[in-house]
Amino acid sequence: MQQKIGGQNVLKTFSLGGIHPSENKRSADRPVEILPVPPVVTIPIAQHIGAPATPIVQKGDAVKVGQVIAQSSGFVSANIHSPVSGKVEKIDDVVDASGYRRTAILIKTEGDEWEASIDRSPDIKKEITASAEEILQRISAAGIVGLGGATFPAHVKLSPPPGKTCDILIINGVECEPYLTSDHRLMLEKGEEMLIGVQLLMRALKVEKAIVGIENNKPDAIHHISQLCQAIPGVSVQPLKVQYPQGGEKQLIDACIGRQIPSGKLPIEVGAVVQNVGTAFAVYEAVQKNKPLIERIVTVTGLSVKKPGNYLARIGTPMADLIEAAGGLPEDTGKVIGGGPMMGKALTSIDIPLTKGSSGILIMPREIASRKPVENCIRCSKCVSVCPMGLSPYLLMTLAEKAIWDRAEEEKIMDCIECGSCSFTCPSSRPLLDYIRLGKGKVGQIMRSRTK
Amino acid sequence: MSVVLITIVTLAGLGAIAAVILYLAAKKFQVFEDPRIDKVEEALPATNCGGCGFPGCRAFAEALVKADDISSMNCPVGGADTMSSVAAILGKEAGSAKPQIAVLRCNGSCEHRPKLTNYQGASSCAVAAALYGGETGCSYGCYGCGDCVVSCQFDAMYMDEATGLPVIIEDNCVACGACVEACPKDLIELRNKGPKSRRIFVSCMNKDKGAVAKKACAVACIGCGKCHKVCPYEAITMNNNLAYIDYEKCKLCRKCVEVCPTNSIHELNFPPRKPKVEQETPEQAQAE
């Protein structure tokens, strides 16, 4: 499992760039707690990448847990199910994690009545009877999206485009974001179910081999999953060196199997598909238990949080409820971030609802939350050496600032995975990623208008 | 002596051959350029602002020479004077575009629109807009990072520290439209300057429902439609909880300004109102 370089055992990792921020995994040893169902849930209809779902319920409708309330409106879209039973209070525009007012379905909870087809027994159903098509169909119907945070509809990734073949499935148990521990706890507590999900994904993709990539800062998870894997042919664990952003698809494929994805292409180009451990678990529940994606594990943490922990919460729960469960909002709070510290996004209010892509809530104390004053670029090229995609962030920032879009495209601005390593490492605290993200938006727009 | 002679003859010969080659090349590769293009370019203001819709004055001059009808083309910087002199050069009919000016359709100053969050990202409206709806409860309003001020080549804009909003200096604004392009929220509109620079417009772009808009900003358009009803010229349309005044139809009667419960309709450069205003104030207060 380990490469030998110069007589020493060196753990595998990706080949280019990367950083190692302080891990601060404060909630790693906190078992997952089940959060009570909130009195009102708010379900945004745009919780995934792609077209927002179309609401199919109306004000006053009674809904059960697991009932479809918004239907997928295209191939790249996902169904949304009611996470509670009760009455639809209204369909209104509310501020969500995007920072904008967008359509959401508000449901007032009454009782806890589930759809009869959902198997709620605690038994683990190991036997796999579904065919590849049935598995795909179940995943699509259950509204499963990539739970690592990108929320790309899972069924799309599992349907390789014609002419492309997949020979390996890579399961992302890296959790390279500092602070976050939800995937770690999931592997420890639901490892067996997760691995059944992996087998289901392998069958859906028609591949014989799967690798679970786990970073070396989770030795208990590596041990636990390795032991469980022994009984499953084709599935193995790959321990990895701790390096951010190893959880990025392209980095993980490079780290696990040493294949590099050409610029502008998807992982399927090198015959690999990556899914998160959380997604694998959701697939298990959807296929074996007929349970759609209505809840997820969330880490609530931060340096001054009283009770950092991992919670199993229904989608649509206000972030405030989760923060309350973790001991309330500390007085010195400067910023509340949805997601991890590297790729997460500051929330404008704590009433924002939990969505499928919320992997964590990070509360930053005031003194470390604010940005430092921007200084001039000193040409130290640290951003270039840490960029995992081999780009020149300092240059891309200038190009975006000066609106030189053609050059930005030549410099492969679209390859940026927005990991934020450049901004993290910059000694002049320059807003590198801010401008690169702006440039990506503009260049993407120009490229799309060209193909039309 | 003969060395000097040979040198002179050789060089003169070489010169003559080169001259013939250059002459032939010039004949062969000659590109005919309408001499009027230079003349028209001379008449244009040479600001290269792009306000005409062409990349620079030269390109506009070429387009003017090429076009059969130039009545729909306009140089916003030079205005009617420039266009009539261009028309004289080309012997074509100039259009009658009214002079325009940029107006800011947001009045969400710090006082009217309380801040809920604190933005620390890159100081650019475009960057902020890609992230979220802004520091206040109104996601349609001005971010105050001054992308418009940066885009202005004519020193016609500055940021007012007190209000956090850009200010347009009327005398300098040439309506080139650079700020309109720069604003990610489409808050700046080019409108007819109006007689004596008098104009009326809705200084708000908030499309939220009335209660939400009002909560976010004291001077937001709440979409009540009172102005639409009172307008005798059907110049005001209501769309997505927002009023819009068509400047071509507006006759500047100011009735809409009087009925607006949130003062979101602005009138500029009108003489101060007569005592009538004092009588109306209590009514307005009641209406609110």
Per the domain annotation, does B241 fall within a domain?
yes
Q: Are B208 and A345 within 8 A, CB to CB?
A: no
Same-domain pairing of B174 and B65 = no
- Over residues A251-280, the pLDDT tens digits come to 999 999 999 999 999 999 999 999 999 999
| Dist. CA B125–CA B185, nearest whole Å | 9
Q: How many CB atoms lie within 10 A of CB A336?
A: 22
SS3 A275: strand
In this prediction, what percent of chain A has a pLDDT beyond 70? 98
Tell me which residues of chain B have a pLDDT lower than 50: 277-288
Same-domain pairing of B188 and B254 = yes
Residues of B in Cβ contact (< 8 Å) with A370: 120
In Å, what is the CA distance from A142 to each residue of A44, A198, A337, B107, B278?
16, 16, 28, 46, 64
Residues of A in Cβ contact (< 8 Å) with B212: 93, 101
Q: Are B130 and A441 within 8 A, CB to CB?
A: yes
Per the domain annotation, does B270 fall within a domain?
yes
Same-domain pairing of B81 and B166 = no
> Is the CB of B208 inside 8 Å of chain A's CB atoms?
yes
Per the domain annotation, does B228 fall within a domain?
yes
**Token pair 């004077």: residue:** B81
Residue A408: partners with Cβ closer than 8 Å, 6 or more residues away? A396, A399, A400, A439, A442, A443
| The pLDDT value given to residue B228 | 95
Residues of A in Cβ contact (< 8 Å) with B119: none
Residue B152: partners with Cβ closer than 8 Å, 6 or more residues away? B178, B179
Instruction: Read off the DSSP letter of residue B76.
Output: T
For residues A229 and A236, is the Cβ–Cβ distance under 8 A?
yes
Same-domain pairing of B73 and B104 = no
Of A93, A99, A371, the CB nearest to B120: A371
Q: Are A101 and B122 within 8 A, CB to CB?
A: no
Same-domain pairing of B72 and B122 = no
Same-domain pairing of B155 and B182 = yes
| The pLDDT value given to residue B32 | 86
- How many separate domains does chain B show? 2
Residue B43: partners with Cβ closer than 8 Å, 6 or more residues away? B78, B82, B85, B86, B89
SS3 B36: helix
In Å, what is the CA distance from B269 to each residue of A123, B196, B247, B248?
77, 8, 15, 18
Q: Are A100 and B139 within 8 A, CB to CB?
A: yes
In Å, what is the CA distance from A173 to each residue of A139, A148, B194?
20, 9, 65
Largest Cα span, chain B: 110
Residues of A in Cβ contact (< 8 Å) with B208: 93, 101
Of B126, B127, B132, the CB nearest to A348: B132
> Is the CB of B212 inside 8 Å of chain A's CB atoms?
yes
Closest CA to A136 of A65, A228, A205: A205
| The pLDDT value given to residue B287 | 46
User: Which residue in A has a C-alpha nearest to residue B125's C-alpha?
Assistant: A438
**Rounded to a whole number, what is the distance in Å from the CA of A97 to chain B's nearest CA?**
9
Per the domain annotation, does B219 fall within a domain?
yes
| The pLDDT value given to residue A148 | 86
How many pairs of residues across A and B have Cβ atoms under 8 Å apart? 46
In sequence order, the β-bridge partners of residue A10 are: A3
Domains, chain A: 3-15+125-288 (3.40.50.11540), 382-451 (no CATH)
- Over residues A378-430, the pLDDT tens digits come to 999 999 999 999 999 999 999 999 999 999 999 999 999 999 999 999 999 99
User: Which residue in B has a C-alpha nearest to residue A397's C-alpha?
Assistant: B122
Per the domain annotation, does B95 fall within a domain?
no
Per the domain annotation, does B28 fall within a domain?
no
Q: Are B133 and A348 within 8 A, CB to CB?
A: yes
Confidence tier at A7 by pLDDT (50, 70, 90): very low
Q: Are B208 and A441 within 8 A, CB to CB?
A: no
Residues of B in Cβ contact (< 8 Å) with A441: 130
- Over residues A19-62, the pLDDT tens digits come to 999 999 999 999 999 999 999 999 999 999 999 999 999 999 99
Residues of B in Cβ contact (< 8 Å) with A432: none
Per the domain annotation, does B119 fall within a domain?
yes
Residues of A in Cβ contact (< 8 Å) with B121: 371, 431, 434
In sequence order, the β-bridge partners of residue A319 are: none
Same-domain pairing of B229 and B182 = yes
Interface test with A, best of B115, B119, B120 (most A CBs within 10 A): B120
Q: Are A93 and B122 within 8 A, CB to CB?
A: no
| The pLDDT value given to residue A328 | 93
Q: In this structure, what CATH number is given to the domain that contains residue B170?
A: 3.30.70.20
Burial of A4 (C-beta count, 10 Å sphere; 0-12/13-18/19+): exposed
Instruction: Read off the DSSP letter of residue B232.
Output: T
Same-domain pairing of B53 and B117 = no
**Rounded to a whole number, what is the distance in Å from the CA of B123 to chain A's nearest CA?**
9
Same-domain pairing of B229 and B121 = yes
Same-domain pairing of B104 and B72 = no
Q: In this structure, what CATH number is given to the domain that contains residue B54?
A: 1.10.15
- Over residues A404-415, the pLDDT tens digits come to 999 999 999 999
User: Which residue in B has a C-alpha nearest to residue A98's C-alpha?
Assistant: B132
**Rounded to a whole number, what is the distance in Å from the CA of A444 to chain B's nearest CA?**
13
Residues of A in Cβ contact (< 8 Å) with B117: 346, 348
Same-domain pairing of B154 and B187 = yes
User: Which residue in B has a C-alpha nearest to residue A373's C-alpha?
Assistant: B120
Residues of A in Cβ contact (< 8 Å) with B127: 431, 434-435, 437-438
Residues of B in Cβ contact (< 8 Å) with A348: 116-117, 132-133
pTM, rounded to two decimals: 0.87
Compute φ and ψ for A310, nearest 5 degrees. Answer: -120, 130
In Å, what is the CA distance from B197 to each residue of A136, A445, B193, B252, B268?
65, 38, 5, 11, 8
Q: Are B124 and A345 within 8 A, CB to CB?
A: no
| Dist. CA B61–CA B67, nearest whole Å | 10
- Over residues A110-127, the pLDDT tens digits come to 999 999 999 999 999 999
A6 pLDDT more than 80: no
- Residues A30, A34, A36, CA angle at the centre, nearest 5°? 135
ipTM (interface pTM): 0.85
Same-domain pairing of B41 and B106 = no
- Over residues A180-192, the pLDDT tens digits come to 999 999 999 999 9
Per the domain annotation, does B65 fall within a domain?
yes
Specify the DSSP element, H or E, that contains A405.
helix A405-410
- End-to-end CA distance of chain A, in Å? 47
- Over residues B110-149, the pLDDT tens digits come to 889 999 998 988 899 999 998 898 999 999 999 999 999 9
Domain with B172 in it:
100-287
Of A346, A370, A438, the CB nearest to B126: A438
